[in-house]
Amino acid sequence: MPASLRRYLPLLVLLLALVLRLWGITWGLPDASHAFSYHPDESMVVGYGSLQPGQNLLDTGFYNYGSLATLTDRFLLLATGAATGFPTTGSLLLARLLTVAYGVGTCGLLIALGKRLEKPEVGLSAATLYAVAPLAVQHGHFATVDVPATFWVTASLLMALTNPRLFWAGLFAGLAAATKYNAGLVLLTGIATTIFPLREAGEGGEPKRAGGGKNMVLLLAGAALGFLLGCPGVAINFSQFWTDFSFELKHGREEYFIGQLAALYWPTLGLLAALGSPLWILGVGKALASRTKTELVLLAFVLPYFLLLAVSANQYLRYCLPLLPALCWLVASLPWRPVVAVGGLLAAAFSVALCSVMAGPDPRDEAAAFLMKRGATSVGFARGPWFWSPPLDPGLAHPSPLMAKGTANKSTKLRLFAVPDGRDWDASLLDETQPDAVVLSEFEYAAALRTQNPQALAYLAALTARYPTKTAFVRPLPLLGARESNGLPVQPLPIDMLYPNQSVVVFTKE
């Protein structure tokens, strides 16, 4: 390629990242049928960014995540005059555009890393792989914490690998933790440069070190400052911070068990869907074999973070987003350029399929229109209802499941039978309530079918016997399609990649 064109390649990569993240950016935003985003975390993150009367500007009052993403949303909304009240379509869209900027910025940081390490082709390739990585593209549309945390993780990696003063690596690691707590593990890359004996390939003599004790102090001081700047609630509202932080620790250990060994889930379906190809295995393998300084420092973060995922009981794929820039770099470092190019094309095709679905109608809206047209007067549910349910009342997508159930019970538009606490998948409710129709979402039943939950299977058998007519609303990805399991459409996607296109099935008596 002529040098006159080559200089525009970084700009083209950033433009590619931008286009993919803007395509379908309005998916699931509130409208007349649903007052809240179809992604419940958005309403929490942006909602707590709304400044309430008498509230401290730097205290979000919500610390299940670090507060940096919420505070940046708050400052953005204040600047535009939209920072009061519950999040509107406009305020959510602004916050989403900020997420887009973080995603594109992460590509820019990978390009900068390549230039500083005098490996511009590797940096450009890594940025391209991240630009088209399916998980990064899809969640790059949402006003949540994962993409911003990944940006700060990448900034910390850049500083740890290129800046002799580790204060900056620590500062950005602190900001990463202040966005999402477990992203603070990136601090291990800075520690690695001060402790591990590291030698670049081809170098002789004694191993290189990065400054010893003084740099370690700077690193930790930067991390503490970064966390305090990004999550000032730890100082000004410690009791609320500790309550929410403790809840999140418990939540991560005990809830959302995926019904299979997480150690098998993450390297198979998990990272394959996240990156769009299995090339990360080759990248990590090469790094372990070659043991260059850059790759060892990256592994000091990648391997412990992956271990944390593998021993957790959580099924949410977005938890691995902070790994993706480092994995993209390791894949880009592979010597087999055609293989890397094929992996990038597969990822790009996957991302295009995801975006095309986000730009189309949502199955929940289609199911709601079907029920209204049919003239149903009462609707039952197996769980909830919540954000996964058709918008039969504007409040069903409320970020609090208890509030959503309360809205259902008070609905005047239709009679909605919310499932009482502790009675999920309770077949006896069908006889107690006798609704005109029953609605199931793939978000509810996919995991139950995969784990062969006996209560769910009994419910489905009873439901099919009483309501034999099924109408399914399915928008599968063009490349993957959907299969049937127990007569229900199931897509081969991790649960939190189903937000925009979960299948909805309506059961009726005729």
pLDDT tens-digit series, residues 235-267? 999 999 999 898 877 765 554 444 445 556 666
Q: pLDDT at residue 213 above 90?
A: no
HEC readout, 58-122: CCCCCCCCCCHHHHHHHHHHHHHCCCCCCCCHHHHHHHHHHHHHHHHHHHHHHHHHHHHCCCHHH
In the DSSP assignment, the letter for residue 182 is: G
**Three-state DSSP class for 25?**
coil
Which of 196-200, 212-216, 265-269 has maximum average pLDDT? 212-216
- 199 pLDDT band, cuts 50/70/90, is very low
Distances (CA, A) of 251 to 135, 255, 256, 318, 445: 23, 5, 8, 16, 21
Contact 416, 409 (CB under 8 A): yes
For residue 293, the model assigns a pLDDT of: 83
Would you say residue 448 has pLDDT above 80? yes
pLDDT at residue number 340: 94
Closest CA relative to residue 59, chosen from 47, 45, 69, 49: 49
Radius of gyration of the chain (CA): 24
Average pLDDT over residues 350-364: 95
Helix (H) or strand (E) holding 469: strand 469-473
pLDDT score, position 2:
62
Confirm if 134 and 354 have CB atoms less than 8 A apart. Answer: yes
Cα separation, 341 vs 347, in Å, equals 10
- How distant, in Å, are the alpha carbons of 75, 80, 412, 450 from that of 56? 13, 19, 38, 46
In the chain, pLDDT over 70 holds for what percent of residues?
A: 91
Which of 30-34, 178-182, 206-210, 485-489 is predicted with the least confidence, judged by mean pLDDT? 206-210
Q: Is the pLDDT of residue 197 over 90?
A: no
d(CA 363, CA 365): 5
Mean pLDDT (the chain) is 89
Residue 417 dihedral angles phi and psi, to the nearest 5°: -95, 90
- Judge whether residue 425 has pLDDT over 90: yes
Give the per-residue pLDDT at 361.
93
Under 8 Å between Cβ of 41 and 158? no
Region 412-429: what's the mean pLDDT?
93
The residue-averaged pLDDT of 77-92 equals 81
